[in-house]
Structure 1
């Protein structure tokens, strides 16, 4: 302990980082202009998107975390960042952002201050970059707390950002990170002392963020269930599910974890899936898969986010499946804590449920969400849009992804209107304060200038007239 102030060296380290971040942010805001904020965001974007740097970040991520694969991480780093920069390009985050004479209110955008971002090892470059870009766009400074396995990628990213900042004469203390060795105590101190916490990662981290006393934006757990109904284009659905499930070896919280296929097209869909590299594991072999996927009650690290050949070998399926197998669809009908296939698997393994009809499929999907993943998202492959609307009305979910590769669609796509993000709010169903994709608006606050206007007080008849005519006074 430090005898002078009674705090430990690791806590003192965090306090120094946050103090530098506050000083840098104050100067950033004092010299504020939209152009300055935009250039800072672009600098962070180019730091990850420049092709040589992007590849280096992807290679370090796979090498140090053992999760995902290099080509897909390159794609993810590029597309997620490019999409975010497109989303925020024309957004005004500094100065007067709205002025409505009719109500007499002028709204001024203001930074939040110092952002503390807790980020996962599954996307150790793309997620911090997304948070950093949004923070800078809003005039904030940011301190990133990476997971232990994500430290090397985060260090490399921050170094690249600082190199871009040097070109602009920006203070490098605007973007900092907690260096190794990390600890829960350091992360807790960061969350306790910043102005807003942004948390993506384990539910333990999310719970700590939401109870730290600092305003926090945290996101819920994924466990995506996708319905394939009898009206779907089966080949199109199979191709999109395969591409989505296999992308970056299923590291995304938006990767399909369960398929629910109606009986009328079950066999035809299984055949279509086979042409895309998906192999059916019949229910008679389910217990063997479960035993190898959860050998000690925890997910097998030899399976999590691994290439297909390594995954098949770890599950004892090598040589038992056709050459070119990309993923497994394991038949099951169990849901709940005693049926681990109904939960998130972080691997190229799907649970496959056979439903009697669409109503049964909806019921199965609802039960899976009640077990895990409520609020995050579900998908449907269908030619009946009314079914998607119905799911949106009735299921505990913030997103219904229709006829799309789920991983690519949920967090924003160039072919849909969702904001580009790597963090999906899950609403009250997932224990979150937001039900949207994390985006720039969560990194800005506003001051309202309120002026007097002519009175607009209604009479009681205007408000209660229709009600009184129906039920009386």
Structure 2
């Protein structure tokens, strides 16, 4: 694989783009058989939704990066003398989860082909057949389009030992899966891009469109039976719209559990603080049957009305299936407090949701400030919104969602091609730019004074002038040559002449007090260096009262 990658690293952007397109098209053409194979092997989710995920991983990812430069010079600025060159990382170890076994394999292999990396896949033991089939389809299409043979590979017999060996020998790890696997990736000694678990709390504000909010959550929660980790795990509803929200959930196929049934279902899905693997991605009716609870055949989602946001409550956890906890909040601050606690219980850094009238800008900002999540979705189905590019423009399409330091990850966004490149910056010598600014106009030669004064009124519209000069010029009457034209033009003026031959800071400070009281729109300095320098300092202190003279007087390089 390293030999194949070494050869691949010499390919041009044109060659890479041809391979990238061929691989994406091949994966997309097989999206239906791959979805059926994933469902048959894992028993998780919904076939039709897996088709959509495979389509997303192939076509959406291709469309996003088809014009992205990933080979050689990707950026150049000759004026600044800066050139940026993209290089591949090498061999990528890709750990694939059982929840998205084919779509994640397609996504990661396409990213690696676009960036001239080799990729070795470690499939989940319960999904090895469908994952390796997805990888095989991409590999064959890539090789036919000109990629080196062996640029995509996989572990034939998945095991913990094989995966750990792969992670220790690869150049970087793309880890998508449970906390244990992600921790192993970060502990391997190899650079890793991992993701954390999600426990998305969706707040429905009393200003929200109830129908749209509930419809969005149901659309997200039922998609592939709730297995995308960005999906809503709990909903927190403000008291003012609680009854309306509950009625709308019931109208759209949600069944509200009663009495002991709430505990039965909660303890069936969450066992010893973790999701029961047998309940992941299952229909609501099957979960209810397993828990010994009778529900109507039309039930799409099971909802448990609950109060505690502590880890001891199974409904407060991430639930990668078709059940949803529902909390009542007395006000928006109460909702934020509950959401923050739920995020802290296994969802740090991942995703949070808010349904609200976006004109409530103060609440929207308050929510954004309070949530320690890297994706904050507004009025959006979270499963489809979190993976990007469907219900938003700037979240990159991705099936590996980083959670930043909050979630124990090295990256806080949606993983894309840029994380799989080494960027070399070639910086040529340039001296830092210097600049000198002159006034808009400089008046000079005999007879310039009346023109300059006239333009104060006609061009600049000045109404109040402050004259800065020295005592000799003032007492000798020289300033009258300025004051008389100002009077004729109706420009009110005041003069300051208490300036020492070698001006002191105290002189300027005294003048600034008069400036602030007079509030001029122009300062006219008359005289030699003393008056000119004092006028400049006074102007600076008047225009920028927040600045300290001591700081301005410090010598910088």
Native 8 Å contact 2:199 2:345 kept in 1: no
Measure, in 2, the Cα distance between the counterparts of 1:432 and 1:201. 13
The alpha-carbon deviation at position 183 of structure 1 amounts to 1.5
Measure, in 1, the Cα distance between the counterparts of 2:76 and 2:277. 54
2:193 to 208, 217, 229: 217
The alpha-carbon deviation at position 470 of structure 1 amounts to 8.5
1:238 to 200, 214, 225: 214
Measure, in 2, the Cα distance between the counterparts of 1:240 and 1:303. 23
Measure, in 2, the Cα distance between the counterparts of 1:279 and 1:126. 30
User: 5+ unaligned residues in a row in structure 1: which ranges?
Assistant: 1-20
Determine whether 1:73 maps to 2:53.
Answer: no
TM-score normalised by the chain length of structure 2:
0.76
Cα displacement string for residues 365-398 of structure 1 (whole angstroms, at most 9, x for unaligned residues)? 0011111201101001100243222222222111
1:144 to 121, 139, 146: 121
Determine whether 1:401 maps to 2:377.
Answer: yes
1:330 to 276, 300, 304: 304
Q: Which residue of 2 is the match for residue 292 of structure 1?
A: 268
Cα displacement string for residues 251-308 of structure 1 (whole angstroms, at most 9, x for unaligned residues)? 1101211000011100100001111111222466422223333467654444321123
Measure, in 1, the Cα distance between the counterparts of 2:140 and 2:267. 48
Q: Which residue of 1 is the match for residue 183 of structure 2?
A: 207
Native 8 Å contact 1:49 1:77 kept in 2: yes
Native 8 Å contact 1:144 1:177 kept in 2: yes
The alpha-carbon deviation at position 469 of structure 1 amounts to 4.2
Measure, in 1, the Cα distance between the counterparts of 2:86 and 2:379. 37
Native 8 Å contact 2:115 2:420 kept in 1: yes
Q: What are the residue-to-residue correspondences of 1:307-326 with 2, within 5 Å? A: 307-318=283-294, 321-326=295-300
Native 8 Å contact 1:83 1:412 kept in 2: no
Determine whether 1:369 maps to 2:359.
Answer: no
TM-score normalised by the chain length of structure 1:
0.89
Q: Which residue of 1 is the match for residue 72 of structure 2?
A: 95
Measure, in 2, the Cα distance between the counterparts of 1:99 and 1:267. 59
Q: Which residue of 2 is the match for residue 41 of structure 1?
A: 20
1:135 to 89, 95, 112: 112
Q: What are the residue-to-residue correspondences of 1:248-267 with 2, within 5 Å? A: 248-267=224-243
Cα displacement string for residues 331-365 of structure 1 (whole angstroms, at most 9, x for unaligned residues)? 11112221121011111000111100111000100
Count residues with an aligned counterpart. Answer: 445
The alpha-carbon deviation at position 169 of structure 1 amounts to 3.5
Native 8 Å contact 1:69 1:249 kept in 2: yes
Q: Which residue of 2 is the match for residue 178 of structure 1?
A: 155
Q: Which has the larger radius of gyration?
A: 2
Q: Kindly indicate whether structure 1 or structure 2 has the higher relative contact order, using CA contacts under 8 Å at least 6 residues apart.
A: 1
Determine whether 1:442 maps to 2:419.
Answer: yes
Measure, in 2, the Cα distance between the counterparts of 1:285 and 1:351. 13
The alpha-carbon deviation at position 37 of structure 1 amounts to 1.3
Cα displacement string for residues 102-142 of structure 1 (whole angstroms, at most 9, x for unaligned residues)? 33110111111111111101110111111111111011111
Q: Which residue of 2 is the match for residue 16 of structure 1?
A: none
Query: Residue 255 and residue 414 in structure 1: after superposition, are their counterparts in 2 closer, same or farther (change >3 A)?
Result: closer
Determine whether 1:158 maps to 2:135.
Answer: yes
Query: Residue 399 and residue 104 in structure 1: after superposition, are their counterparts in 2 closer, same or farther (change >3 A)?
Result: same
